[in-house]
Amino acid sequence: MAFFDMFKKRPAQPAEPQAPAAQAPAAQPAGEERAGALDAGLEKTKTGLFSKLARAVAGRTTVDADVLDDLEEVLITSDVGVETTVAIIRRIEQRVARDKYMSTAELRRILREEIAALLEEAHSAEGSFGLDAREGEPYVVMVVGVNGAGKTTTIGKLAAQLTRMGRKVWIGAADTFRAAAIDQLGVWADRAGATMIRQEMGSDPASVAFDTLSSARANGADVVLIDTAGRLHNKIGLMNELTKIRNVMQKVIPGAPHEVMLVLDGSTGQNAFEQAKQFTEATQVTSLAITKLDGTAKGGVVVGISDRFRIPVRYIGIGEGVDDLRIFDRKEFVNALFGDEKN
């Protein structure tokens, strides 16, 4: 079963025909309410981007080299990242060269189009992720990222959304480094109605993963979410620990983990890029969750990180509440930043 299918309600009767793949998972708030919260969550990024953009084009009528220079600075200071900024500027330059005359009034629309196109390209591998779990086996997600990125919170929100949809969720407390981390996860698990498997603080994370998968399998769980410690001394240490956890998982469920989700704190801007680099070098990361986009003007990281790493952004975090974890939708994201297409 593909991961997104987890968000569908279980059929009332097993024989009921499967509905075609739903686009928007029902676990999430619908319609205007949903869009409104996303707008609010990305407000600072939007305001920052457009006030800078307005300054860059002030007093100019056509998009010339000077405007492009300023636009480059706007994008870099919005945490889109240097490489992606250069790519966007190059594309706009080509359009300017082709169209000869381009007014600054059009710049916002063009920027929107280029960012939308870039996000689409970056997510073109989307169809291939969410490797199908073997029928009857739990779908295992290993969650990685540095300390404070939002791993535990993201697991808690995800567990709550999934159990609400009738899924049986098992959580593994494999961040055994601090007792408080295990307790924090326990609070989320209780609230979500998920089963948490834990050991003593300081025990081997791989051993916790083993216990969790064994229990999940024996109890017919649908999803397993494994929390891990972000506090590691160096890349080799990180690689060794994650590899060990993965190897142990495979002993219990071949093919597990089906997904390795890297959680990045979006409000750290360029640091998030650095973390993505470290973790992708240490292990095979298959999806991203970018948290704390509320209250930061650094939402441009979503664009830059998708482009640079070509790993699909699965979720974005826009607050601390259960519903503030959203499945990332490129179109919604662009609409929240630039306004709806018609505007």
Q: Please report whether residue 152 would count as binding Mg ion according to CB under 5 A.
A: yes
The edge-to-edge listing of strands for the beta sheet with 139-144 is 195-197, 169-174, 223-228, 139-144, 259-265, 287-291, 313-317, 325-327
Q: Please report whether residue 269 would count as binding ligand GDP according to CB under 6 A.
A: no
- By three-state DSSP, how is residue 166 classified? coil
Nearer Cβ to Mg ion (7/279): 279
Q: Please report whether residue 172 would count as binding ligand GDP according to CB under 6 A.
A: no
Nearer Cβ to Mg ion (147/243): 147
Q: Please report whether residue 291 would count as binding ligand GDP according to CB under 6 A.
A: yes
Site string for ligand GDP, 203-232 (x = CB under 6 A): --x-----------------------xxxx
Q: Which stretch binds ligand GDP (CB under 6 A): 83-91, 207-215, 248-256, 311-319?
A: 311-319
Q: Strands 223-228, 195-197: parallel, antiparallel or unpaired by DSSP? A: unpaired
Of 144, 116, 135, nearest to 286 by C-alpha is 144
Q: Please report whether residue 145 would count as binding ligand GDP according to CB under 6 A.
A: yes
Q: Which stretch binds Mg ion (CB under 5 A): 57-65, 127-135, 179-187, 246-254?
A: 179-187
Long-range Cβ contacts of 200-203 (<8 Å, 24+ apart): 200/176, 201/176, 201/177, 202/176, 202/177, 203/176
- By three-state DSSP, how is residue 260 classified? strand
34 binds, among ligand GDP, Mg ion, none (CB under 5 to 8 A by kind): none
Burial call 282-316: b when 16+ CB within 10 Å, e when fewer: bbebbbbbbbbbbebbbbbbbbbbbbbbebbbbbb
Q: Which stretch binds Mg ion (CB under 5 A): 45-53, 54-62, 95-103, 143-151?
A: 143-151
Nearer Cβ to ligand GDP (118/196): 196
Q: Which stretch binds ligand GDP (CB under 6 A): 57-65, 77-85, 124-132, 319-327?
A: 319-327
Report the sign of the C-alpha dihedral through residues 266, 271, 273, 278, in that order: negative
Q: Please report whether residue 283 would count as binding ligand GDP according to CB under 6 A.
A: no
Tokens 């704190």, located at residue: 265
Which residues of this protein are in contact with ligand GDP, per CB under 6 A?
A: 145, 147-153, 176-177, 205, 229-232, 263, 291-292, 294-295, 317-320, 324
